[in-house]
Amino acid sequence: MKHIRKVRVKNHLGLHTRPATLIVKLLQNVKCEVMFTYKDLTINAKSILSILMLAAKKNSSITITTAGEEAETILIKLVDAFENQFGEYS
């Protein structure tokens, strides 16, 4: 079953290396597919280079799609990470 949710990038510097690294670490060893869609580009969220390729700035809207085992749990964790600015507060 697919789970889809839109999130907003709240980080001052956008979706840069630090949050991208945290996303990849969070998705390590999970048994589900995780895709991010920004504008016309859909990427595998388990790849740091793909995340950085999005070049999502502050206030960008990203659609997260998860499918497979743990899909709902992983989606909740990702939404929480975006909401909490990946621990970065400016």
Residue 82 — very low, low, confident or very high, per pLDDT cuts 50/70/90? very high
Which residues sit opposite 8 in a β-bridge? 61
Domain that holds residue 23: 2-87
How high is the pLDDT of residue 88? 83
Alpha helices in the chain (DSSP H): 17-27, 48-54, 71-83
User: What CATH number should be reported for the domain holding residue 82?
Assistant: 3.30.1340.10
Query: What is the set of active-site residues?
Result: 16
- Angle among Cα 36, 51, 45 to the nearest 5 degrees reads 45
Is pLDDT at 90 greater than 70 in this prediction?
no
On whether the pTM is more than 0.85, the answer is yes
Q: Within 13 Å of residue 58, how many CA atoms lie on the same side as its CB?
A: 8
Q: How many domains does the chain have?
A: 1
Is pLDDT at 78 greater than 90 in this prediction?
yes
pLDDT digits over 24-47, tens only?
A: 999 999 999 999 999 999 999 999
